[in-house]
Amino acid sequence: MTGLPRAMLVLGGARSGKSRHAESLIEAALAGGACDGATYLATATAAADDAEMATRIAEHRQRRGPAWRTVEAPLDLAGALAEHSTPRRPVLVDCLTLWLANLMFAGRDVDAESARLVAALQDPAGPVVLVSSEVGLGIVPDNALARAFRDHAGRLNQAVAACVPRVVFVAAGLTLTLKDE
């Protein structure tokens, strides 16, 4: 109906253009009249802990127009998807790696929450576009927490990529389709 798959993953490094690409996919569906609006599930909260993060949030909000509704979902992403996904209102989740950091900081069971998310992506009520950072392409981190984060992120990205029909990688604003079923 919207030209978007049931779910897709947009991967990339920091400032690669992955969020902008994900937004453009949904904007195209909005422009074509295939949907009634869009929901942005933000894993960051508007009450960011630092000025730099607050600036990033403001930039993202400014890029999106009035057709977008923003919902903060820093921890219960599977529940937010179930609540806000509808056939004519695609959902953009930005981003999975920040969500993962939130889970780790809150002491949540990352594997259980990841499994809940993958289950929610099996049959969402409407299209879902997920954004995630590819953090495993650099050097091996020098501390256990950073290595655990990198490992969890790699496993999360693999699990989501396995369950969605489309995966794209963004580098320097250019997209490479990794999977398109």
Q: What is the pLDDT of residues 134-178, one digit of tens each?
A: 998 888 999 999 999 999 999 999 999 999 999 999 999 999 999
d(CA 60, CA 64): 7
SS3 106: coil
Instruction: With residue 8 as reference, give the H or E element that holds it.
Output: strand 7-12
Residue type, 52: E
Whole-angstrom distance, CA of residue 58 vs CA of residue 18? 17
The token pair at 179 is 């999977």
Can you list the domains of the chain with their CATH numbers? 7-14+21-180 (3.40.50.300)
**Rounded distance between C-alpha atoms, residue 80 and residue 37, angstroms:** 17
For the record, the structure tokens of 154 come out as: 């790699």
**What is the 8-class DSSP label of residue 172?**
T
Q: Which of 21, 60, 84, 152 is catalytic?
A: 60
CB 19 within 8 A of CB 94: yes
Specify the pLDDT at position 57: 72
Tokens (6 digits) for 147 = 């290595």
Can 60 be counted among the known catalytic residues? yes
Say what the pTM is: 0.92
Show the low-confidence residues of the chain (pLDDT under 70). Answer: 1-2, 46-48
How far is residue 132's CA from residue 10's CA, in Å, rounded to a whole number?
A: 6
Q: What is the model's pLDDT at position 70? A: 92
pLDDT of residue 58: 75
